[in-house]
């Protein structure tokens, strides 16, 4: 094996693939956006076939009202032409978003995200995963770790959903890394503030989650930040977010989303 050539090739890959996330964090992205978007669309279509969909007019109007308000202030350069929102009849308190602009909301999140502002924190977070290309990072990391040349083609649809962060394992959504989760929290906080939702409700949301016992495991052993850590990180950005919230309200951004 020619280790010199191997090292050179790896160096070139890293040099060509390193990009920057919305928060300024360096990223390794080996997959083109169109391929990621196709992957996300395929995984979402499979999920729609397997999970009951809630077609109730009230809940869909409510969720779409929040998403539309947030998308109006979202800067996305991943090539998504239009976003699709589906409410799934699932009692687990979750929501997710996939490359390609696909958003899934479980009915089980509504008793936890008790207000439109709290649900905006959830949905802004999920949109943040997409625009920060966290799914691409996961796929790229799998390529490096496994030595696969084309994981997009190699993975089945169910596996693809897992890598993207929406696959089911032991009845729960596969989590992103702590870094991804924390970054999505901050991006989501920015999105909800700019769209006219009260950023303080993001903290209330995680207090509600904590009351469910969401992060009782040792944080070091978990890929999710602890609820206490999330709340601390959100509060560190709160002053800046409140300023953006006030600017949004004064400019007429006051979403009236009701269930």
Return d(Cα 233, Cα 168) in angstroms, integer: 28
What are the φ and ψ backbone dihedral angles of 157, each rounded to 5 degrees?
-65, -40
Return d(Cα 252, Cα 191) in angstroms, integer: 16
Return d(Cα 199, Cα 191) in angstroms, integer: 9
Return d(Cα 42, Cα 152) in angstroms, integer: 11
Q: Answer yes or no: 126 catalytic.
A: yes
Q: How many CB atoms lie within 10 A of CB 48?
A: 15
Nearest to 67 by CA among 47, 82, 46: 82
Return d(Cα 228, Cα 151) in angstroms, integer: 36
Of the candidates 126, 137, 183, 201, the residue annotated as catalytic is: 126
Residue with tokens 């202030």: 73
Q: By CB neighbour count within 10 A (0-12 exposed, 13-18 middle, 19+ buried), where does 241 fall?
A: buried
Q: What is the DSSP string of 62-130?
A: HHHHHHHHHHTT----S---S-EEEEE---SS-EEEETTTEEEEEGGGTTTS-SHHHHHHHHHHHHHHH
Give catalytic residue positions.
126
């Amino acid at each position: 094996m020619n280790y010199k050539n191997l090292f050179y090739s790896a160096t070139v890959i890293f040099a060509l693939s390193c990009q920057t996330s919305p928060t300024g964090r360096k990223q390794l992205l080996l997959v083109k956006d169109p391929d990621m978007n196709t992957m996300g669309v395929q995984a979402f279509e499979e999920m729609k076939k397997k999970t009951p969909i809630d077609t109730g007019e009230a809940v869909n109007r409510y969720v779409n009202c929040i998403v539309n308000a947030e998308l109006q202030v979202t800067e996305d350069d991943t090539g998504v032409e239009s976003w699709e929102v589906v409410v799934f009849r699932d009692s687990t308190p979750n929501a997710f978003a996939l490359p390609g602009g696909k958003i899934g909301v479980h009915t089980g999140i509504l008793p936890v995200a008790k207000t439109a502002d709290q649900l905006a924190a959830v949905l802004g977070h999920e949109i943040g995963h997409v625009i920060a290309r966290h799914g691409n990072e996961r796929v790229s990391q799998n390529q490096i770790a496994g030595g696969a040349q084309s994981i997009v083609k190699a993975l089945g649809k169910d596996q693809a959903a897992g890598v993207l962060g929406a696959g089911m394992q032991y009845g729960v959504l596969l989590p992103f890394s702590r870094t991804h989760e924390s970054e999505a929290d901050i991006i989501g906080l920015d999105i909800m503030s700019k769209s006219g939702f009260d950023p303080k409700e993001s903290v209330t949301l995680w207090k509600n989650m904590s009351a469910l016992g969401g992060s009782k495991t040792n944080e070091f052993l978990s890929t999710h930040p602890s609820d206490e850590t999330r709340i601390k990180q959100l509060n560190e950005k709160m002053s800046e977010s409140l300023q953006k919230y006030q600017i949004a309200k004064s400019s007429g951004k006051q979403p009236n989303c009701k269930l």
